[in-house]
């Protein structure tokens, strides 16, 4: 009988390899993530050598008009708008469509982000994505498939995909079939002033928030952020005495500014690092936003849920976790704005 030793020798534990120092792990992780972030951002947002975001130009710039030789004539039921509810550029077209009373004349199709493109919420025949639509209008098209799109259902072609052009057409070329034909958001006597505001607001505010959010260097961000809030401060001062940007009646300049302001506290303030001040913290800009929001039909086409879902849920390089914030509370947009005393011409729109 073999006796088992009372104190058998325990097997020696395997020697563990040396772990990397925490500081080295952090540095390595930072290097890998920064490299990946730059690659992702370069695909998401084209940049200059200094790291500044450069917005690509629109490629379809045809116009609808009653000119005899123009192939695109204004007709009820002929055209369709393709829009993303989160997109401020597409939102402009919906605002003008509502203010002019063109809901019955121009149909709308909604698209939502899908991977790197847009997909139709309700597929239409062979069209399931926005890329499909662009290909249908121009076979072999290899450019960006962006919203908004003004589509001609008769010729099956893209008329225009530049929001600044589309809102001008909606304002003036469909008056014969609009419910509010006398409303002119781009009057001749204010055209020069409207154009000046549009140029300033586009660079420093409309595109300025993207220049902040998509900046790829600290210097590019600092410049964009300074220009953004300098312009917002200037506008706030102007609105001390003017109900709207160009006086006592709303214009296309107000429409173009409104869709950025509506998204500001929801997305740009946090996600795009535009956090010096919220719009609702401005004395005049906050009330001005409420004024525009309360124009007939506008509140119905303001979709905060889609904005938060698409910005926080789809811009991965800016929000890798994909967590969507619960706020802010926008019920204050329905509160009295108190700006009626600054002008009388806008009363017909807010009555």
**Ordered domains of the chain (ranges, CATH):** 79-177 (3.40.30.10), 188-350 (1.20.1050.10)
Instruction: Tell me the two tokens of residue 306.
Output: 């889609």
Taking the alpha carbons of 236, 238, 239, 241 in that order, is the dihedral positive or negative? Answer: positive
pTM reported for the whole predicted model: 0.86
- Read off the pLDDT of residues 116-138 as tens digits, 9 standing for 90 and up: 789 999 999 889 999 999 999 99
Catalytic residues: 87, 210
Res. 346 pLDDT band, cuts 50 70 90: very low
For residues 211 and 18, what is the distance between their CA atoms, to the nearest angstrom?
Answer: 45
Task: Check pLDDT > 80 for residue 31.
Answer: no
- Read off the pLDDT of residues 238-262 as tens digits, 9 standing for 90 and up: 999 999 999 999 999 999 999 999 9
For residues 297 and 163, what is the distance between their CA atoms, to the nearest angstrom?
Answer: 19
Do 160 and 169 contact (CB within 8 A), yes or no? yes
Predicted local confidence at residue 29, as pLDDT: 67
Report, as an integer, the average pLDDT of 65-90.
Answer: 97
Task: Check pLDDT > 70 for residue 10.
Answer: no
For residues 303 and 86, what is the distance between their CA atoms, to the nearest angstrom?
Answer: 7
Q: Which residues of 74-83 are buried (b: 16+ CB within 10 A; e: fewer)?
A: beeebbbbbb
Cβ atoms within 10 A of the Cβ of 188, count?
Answer: 7
- Read off the pLDDT of residues 283-296 as tens digits, 9 standing for 90 and up: 999 999 999 999 99
- CA proximity to 271, closest of 217, 308, 305, 301: 308
- Read off the pLDDT of residues 180-192 as tens digits, 9 standing for 90 and up: 999 999 999 999 9
């Amino acid at each position: 009988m073999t006796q088992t030793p009372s104190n058998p020798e325990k097997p020696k534990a395997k020697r563990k390899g040396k772990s990397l120092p925490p500081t080295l792990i952090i540095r390595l992780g930072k290097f890998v993530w920064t490299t990946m972030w730059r690659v992702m951002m370069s695909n998401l947002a084209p940049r200059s050598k200094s790291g500044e975001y450069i917005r690509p130009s629109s490629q379809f710039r045809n116009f609808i008009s009653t000119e005899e030789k123009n192939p695109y004539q204004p007709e009820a039921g002929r055209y369709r708008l393709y829009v993303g509810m989160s997109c401020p550029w597409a939102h402009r077209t919906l605002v003008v469509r509502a203010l002019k009373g063109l809901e019955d004349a121009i149909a709308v199709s909604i698209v939502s982000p899908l991977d790197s493109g847009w997909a139709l919420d309700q597929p239409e025949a062979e069209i399931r994505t926005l890329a499909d639509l662009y290909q249908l209008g121009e076979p072999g098209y290899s450019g960006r498939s962006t919203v908004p799109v003004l589509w001609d259902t008769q010729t099956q072609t893209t008329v225009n995909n530049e929001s600044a052009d589309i809102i001008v057409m909606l304002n003036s070329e469909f008056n014969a079939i609009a419910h509010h034909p006398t409303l002119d958001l781009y009057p001749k006597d204010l055209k020069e002033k409207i154009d000046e505001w549009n140029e300033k607001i586009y660079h420093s505010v409309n595109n300025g928030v993207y220049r902040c959010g998509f900046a790829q260097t600290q210097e590019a961000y600092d410049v964009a952020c300074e220009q953004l809030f300098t312009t917002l401060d200037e506008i706030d001062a102007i609105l001390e005495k003017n109900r709207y940007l160009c006086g006592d009646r709303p214009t296309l300049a107000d429409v173009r500014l409104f869709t950025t302001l509506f998204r500001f506290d929801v997305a740009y303030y946090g996600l795009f690092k535009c956090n010096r001040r919220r719009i609702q913290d401005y004395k005049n800009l906050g009330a001005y936003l409420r004024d525009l929001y309360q124009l007939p039909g506008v509140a119905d086409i303001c979709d905060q849920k889609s904005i938060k879902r698409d910005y926080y849920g789809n811009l991965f390089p800016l929000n890798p976790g994909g967590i969507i914030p619960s706020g802010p509370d926008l019920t204050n947009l329905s509160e009295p704005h108190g700006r009626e005393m600054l002008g009388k011409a806008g009363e017909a729109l807010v009555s």
